[in-house]
């Protein structure tokens, strides 16, 4: 995936669950950095979330100007506290490409553009 832009701390309003990824909090921090959002309150449905917007060249097009953008999130859901052990973290986004993008980030295939 040829990444053109990778931004964090974006508006993820109206994103929805697209899948899960089984990993630990420490692994996510080592790859994604500190969470975009944390709330330690037991009353919150989400206590920890990372968000990003990734713009990449459409892999099905020969035109380098033909790009796609995916908003993605990785978050816990209704656990009352931030899970630090192995946990099926939720992947959110606008469509199913979000899961593929997050997995590519975790596999270190997508890195922020500097």
Other C-beta atoms lying within 10 Å of the C-beta of residue 54: 26
pLDDT at 93 over 90: yes
More confident residue, 100 or 9: 100
Rounded to an integer, what distance in angstroms lies between the CA atom of residue 20 and that of residue 22? 7
Residues 78-105, mean pLDDT to the nearest whole number? 94
Closest among 6, 10, 52 to 28, alpha carbons compared: 52
pLDDT at 114 over 60: no
Using pLDDT thresholds of 50, 70 and 90, give the confidence band for residue 113.
low
Rounded to an integer, what distance in angstroms lies between the CA atom of residue 70 and that of residue 87? 24
More confident residue, 24 or 57: 24
pTM (2 d.p.): 0.85
């Amino acid at each position: 995936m040829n990444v053109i832009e990778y931004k964090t701390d974006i508006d993820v309003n109206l994103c929805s669950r697209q899948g899960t990824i089984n990993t630990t909090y420490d692994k996510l921090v080592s790859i994604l950095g500190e969470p975009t959002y944390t709330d330690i309150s037991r009353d919150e449905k989400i206590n920890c979330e990372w968000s990003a917007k990734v713009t990449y060249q459409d892999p099905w097009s020969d035109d380098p100007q033909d790009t796609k953008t995916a908003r993605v999130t990785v978050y816990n859901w209704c656990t009352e506290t931030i899970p630090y052990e192995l946990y099926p973290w939720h992947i959110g986004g606008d469509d199913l490409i979000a899961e593929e993008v997050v997995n590519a980030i975790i596999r270190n295939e997508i890195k922020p553009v500097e």
